[in-house]
Structure 1
């Protein structure tokens, strides 16, 4: 699918910062370094690090300098250290079962002493403690499986956990379930290592298929729910562990063809812009947030490929990097001062592209939201 120069098959630029997680089913061989020139206008892909297979999402722990990457097809989480060296590359320190099938999302708690995983096929979430010195998983994992279904027989025949995240005060673990149209909340105590039973924090509209919940980066009273199956964005007011719907808007243009579904959602650091990707319409919807957090559609911009599964905001460089799962393409959009986007000609074929990882420490670049 992609013909690499022989030199690129055996070398990795020491300065590589972006890595593309890939699906083996799409031809991906692992985690691909993506090298860019100074202005980001020319990209080169180097040989994949095969230690990280089927990496569809990951998080970085600033405290230990470790990356936690899901293996969606292998049903596990790998703990990795990136040497930053062109010879040593990524070292997998340990792999641990994810507590269910098809882990698709992972999050660290606010103290970076626990991680949580959403298992799509298993319909479960798992949390496990991390050793404070090594950052490696310790103690027995805690698994909570959901039950139920939704009205869509093709996608909601069973629970499908799709996202996990901890509340700003670290007292709650939230999870979205695409299969049951629910947002769940679990009382969480990092010190005692306890996780309460599930509470239905929000009942999403039937058949909407909640995919990702975005907790506002600066305002803990606000959250945004991206619904995959109906392509809707719901503004939620946070009321304790529960959420109350305030506003619902479409993520699609009025003339969009049928069959498009939502993928990723993220906010800028200032918390006044929200971005949502549409697979099928192959666009990024840009919303401005007013003083009350209400979303106002600014524009739809073509993502530059087919089925934009994930995007990464690089605000310091005024760029968005988008991974497309259908045509195995990674593209660049430019971010204007007002937060709107502009397509560019910059892109590269990456077989099985699913996720883009920023290997820089968090102190220099925040990881993807949601």
Structure 2
């Protein structure tokens, strides 16, 4: 049946093997992963972006630290190169403007700790979602209160 399509035959035979490689992590994979959790800080006891360690065998989460003084970091995204983390600052007032903001952080490759880089206005209130494009050049932000989107370089 497949003799007239040798490439297709080889592809179909290898598909189950390739699929299992992508589904199953390699044995040398890290036993623990870093997890970042954004929170609402205004009017609560929350302090910012929580960093947890997740055991890949048990799923247990353990608190590692907190990046404090980040206002309402309610949604987070990591840059494709894994070196930067972006957080929306879900607020309606940023530096005297009727706007929210996006905060940028570097991720320490050894510890996973965050270091604040800068903040930019989202030109609309209550930013609620962001995504980094595949090239890593732009951050797109949806402003819930402003009813608009913003593209940041």
Q: Which residue of 1 aligns with 2:138?
A: 319
Say whether residues 1:303 and 2:114 are aligned partners.
Answer: no
Per-residue CA deviations over 1:178-222 (Å, capped at 9, x if unaligned) read xxxxxxxxxxxxxxxxxxxxxxxxxxxxxxxxxxxxxxxx99521
Separation in 2, partners of 1:275, 1:330: 16
Kindly tell me: are residues 283 and 246 of structure 1, through their superposed partners in 2, closer, same or farther at Cα, counting changes over 3 Å? same
Alignment of 1:84-233 (within 5 A): 221-229=33-41, 230=46, 232-233=48-49
Query: Structure 1 or 2: larger helix share?
Result: 2
Q: How many residues align?
A: 114
Select the residue among 220, 224, 238 that pairs with 2:54.
238
The one of 253, 258, 265 aligned to 2:76:
265
Aligned to 1:279: 90
Contact 1:324 1:330 in 2 (8 A): yes
Measure the CA separation in 2 of the matches of 1:251 and 1:328: 26
Which is higher, the Rg of structure 1 or of structure 2?
Answer: 2
Aligned position for 1:64? none
Alpha-carbon distance between aligned partners in 1 of 2:78 and 2:128, rounded to the nearest angstrom: 16
Give the C-alpha shift of residue 305 in structure 1: 1.3
* Shift, 1:249, TM fit: 1.1
Q: 1:261-307: CA deviations, max 9, x gaps?
A: 33210101221111110111411111111122111111122122111
- Unaligned residue ranges in structure 1 (runs of 5+): 1-110, 112-167, 171-217, 253-259, 335-370
- Aligned-residue CA RMSD in angstroms? 2.6
Give, in whole Å, the separation in 1 of the partners of 2:146 and 2:52. Answer: 34
Instruction: Work out whether residues 85 and 106 of structure 2, in 8 Å CA contact, stay in contact via their aligned partners in 1.
Output: yes
Structure 2 unaligned spans of 5+: 1-18, 95-99
Structure 1 residue ranges (4+ consecutive) displaced by more than 6 angstroms after TM superposition: none
Cα distance in structure 2, aligned partners of 1:295 and 1:328: 30
Q: What TM-score results when the alignment is normalised by the length of structure 1?
A: 0.28
Deviation at 1:251, TM superposition (A): 5.2
Residue 169 and residue 308 in structure 1: after superposition, are their counterparts in 2 closer, same or farther (change >3 A)? farther
- Whole-angstrom CA distance in 2 between matches of 1:267 and 1:294: 13
| 2-structure distance, mates of 1:219, 1:227 | 26
Rounded to whole Å, the distance in 2 between the matches of 1:270 and 1:325 is 28
Map 1:352-367 onto structure 2 (within 5 A): none
Point out the structure with the larger strand share.
Answer: 1
Q: Is residue 231–residue 278 contact of structure 1 (8 Å, CA) maintained in 2?
A: no
Q: TM-score, normalised by structure 2?
A: 0.64
